[in-house]
Amino acid sequence: MQFTRRIGLILLWLAPLALAFAAANKNDPYLVVLRGAGNIALVVLSIAIAIVLFRRGHWQRAPGRLLVVLWCLPPLLMSAAHLKFELRRHEVLHASRAAVRQLGPHFIVGYSSFPEVAHLAEQGLIGGIYITRHNIRRRTVDELRIEIAALQDKRRAAGLPPLIVTADQEGGIVGHLSPPLTKVPALATLAELPPEARKAKAEEFGRTHGRELAALGVNLNLAPVLDLKPPVRRNRLDFHTLIGQRAIASDPAVVGEIAGAYVQGLEASGVGATLKHFPGIGRVRTDTHHFAANLDTPVEELEASDWRPFKEVLAQSRAALMVGHVTLTAVDPDRAASHSRRVVQGILRDKWNYQGVVMTDDLVMGAIYQHDVCKAVVEAMNAGVDLLLVAYDGAQFYRVFDCALDGARQGRLDAAMLRASEGRIGKAFPGD
């Protein structure tokens, strides 16, 4: 009994510190599950316990007063965090027309609130949206199609280019709109088929995805994965990348054949493809959803193996290219490839002469977000990255866009690079 009481007393002192930390960081993507009802519950619990402690006379003694104050901290810190978010949101929503025109086309954002994303779309603060499972949960395909069409109508009425509408339909374990869309097997399941059979089947998979996505209003699929299948088991802490299950094969030729046929099927249905995740994450054991990661392989070896499928499929398609958050140490050891000028401009644009659309992987991933995200945003735009993706937690758009605004105000953005980027976007996604 005495032991239980001591444990309870320890928890009574430690719990407000944990809740205060959560409250102060309420806008962090790691705490997205607490938003809404979770935040309300945290505030109500803290206030209720503070009142109970006060009414039981704890305020009469110094330790008790400290305990009451600790339980009052979570609501105060949450209010401060919410105020900071609203001030940043206000600054973004009231950005100058010139800044919006310059920066808006480069952002793709995930969303939960239709009125909020509709406002961003109408004002030109974003260039596209990201559709995922929560957008279609407990809804029909027709309802989501009507919602996307309504956003496009608002863009048209505002005299703005159509939104780029993206989704993540790879097949296998990554098919965020399946169900209700058709659940297609992973492209990796085709690797052991004879060459002609696997190409025919891959194209069929692409047509299936393309037909259903086009009917929904999606015009860019964030697939296929061109990373080579890793030869060894990845880190046990890799809960999200799971590239061993998503990669097609370890043979670059097989990857190129299957991916190329899949892209043909997508494009034949009117949907663009996105090759990912250059410069390749098959050799990387760290999960960039949470941690920074290095790719230490020499460029010559990557050119002869990992990069072959990227170059082959880019040469025979109109595909976009997603750059991942791994650091290509042989080229730029100081920053991830997703915001490295040496990688994007030096390799993709200058060496490969690729003039298509380049986009980042999700900027909400820990490899970027938990470091200097503002530096990454400015460097990505100056490197020639065309689209910056804010997918998992759309609320982070305000922080990311504010980073771009701050870079523009300080004259740190390359205006010529942004104009060239906007030209590439316009060419890849022409208006009606």
Provide the β-strand partners of residue 257. Answer: none
Residue appearing with tokens 């030209």: 423
Options 106, 209, 277, 289, the catalytic residue: 289
| d(C-alpha 212, C-alpha 130), whole Å | 16
Establish whether 414 is a catalytic residue. no
Closest CA to 320 of 301, 344, 293: 344
Establish whether 289 is a catalytic residue. yes
Options 361, 386, 393, 402, the catalytic residue: 361
User: Catalytic amino acids?
Assistant: 289, 361
